[in-house]
Homo-oligomer: A and B are copies of this chain.
Amino acid sequence: MTRQIIATQQACLEPLFGCLAANAGVAVKAAPNLWQLDVICKHYSAGLRLREPAIDTGRLLIVVSGWACEQRISAEGRRQIFNFIAPGDFIDFQAADDNGERVLMALTPLKLLDMRHVVDGERAASDPAWARLAAYAQRSHKRRLYDHLTRLGHKSAYERVAHLLLDFHARLDAVGMVDGRRFALPLTQEMLADALGITLVHVNRVLQQLRQQGLIELASGFVGLLRPKALAEIAEFDLECEDHVVRPYPRPENSHQLSI
């Protein structure tokens, strides 16, 4: 099973592009094969700050594999993660550097695909497909910020963790990176803590609790949501609504669905 997910992760771009077509109404040229992809993509190693020359700030990059985040380091050296950037998410450098304190950081080895290579159209601001794409990127980014504000606002640690896991599930599912109810989550508990505003120790305790209650399974970088409906109730996560916002790509019959 693990091998299957990894293969999905690295190879299948169709669901990702299908998701773009469904949500942004953008047609993608022929998807590049694996060899082409590796040449076209930008690669970052874990821990590197993502930068682009100022002249290129208008570009739209999409994450093909790996995870990144937006973060800020406080004066005391504590890190606040504003937003996790997962496969299928856009990286909009123009939006990123309005403020020197906030930076984009690769959390794992990262592969970024420049949309210029795969989208038809003149990529001018006037081109409708390109504008739809940029608008979609902005919309999803903003939605993510509000969701995170909701998590940090009135939720307990227990609810925050459950909510974040459901969030990850929905996003990765939309781009075909969920196998059944399991998906790869290459984040440390410290990263989760820095995002959720709780301590590493407490994240661990909450995860233990979720495991003992049979709600999730978690081992070696993979998470399984065993009872998503129960999790959604705990976290007040609106499964319906999420589906509207991020429409998954069209699936074949009998594929692995999240049967709730």
Minimum Cβ distance to chain B for residue A166 (Å): 14
Given A98-B142, A145-B145, are A154 and B197 also a contact pair (CB < 8 Å)? Answer: yes
When the two chains form their complex, are residues A146 and B102 in contact, meaning their CB atoms are under 8 A apart?
A: yes
Q: Bound complex: CA of A82 vs CA of B151, how far in Å?
A: 11
A220 within 8 A of B: no
Residues on the B chain within 8 Å of A78, using CB: 154
Give min CB distance, A229 to chain B, whole Å.
15
Residues of B within 8 A of A154 (CB): 74, 78, 80, 197
Contact of A245 with B by CB under 8 A: yes
A143–B99 alpha-carbon span in the complex (Å): 8
* Binary interface encoding of chain A residues 223-250 relative to chain B, with 1 for a CB under 8 A from any of its CBs, else 0: 0000000000000100001000100000
Classify chain A's interface size: 20 to 34
CA distance A148 to B98 in the complex (A): 16
How many angstroms from the CA of A116 to the CA of B152 in the assembled complex?
37
With contacts A74-B236, A154-B197 taken as known, whether A80 is within 8 angstroms of B142 at the C-beta atoms is no
Q: How far is the CB of A255 from chain B (nearest CB, A)?
A: 28
Chain B residues, CB < 8 A from A241: 101
List the interface of chain A (C-beta within 8 A of B): 72, 74-76, 78, 80, 82, 95, 98-99, 101-102, 139, 142-143, 145-146, 148-150, 152-154, 197, 236, 241, 245
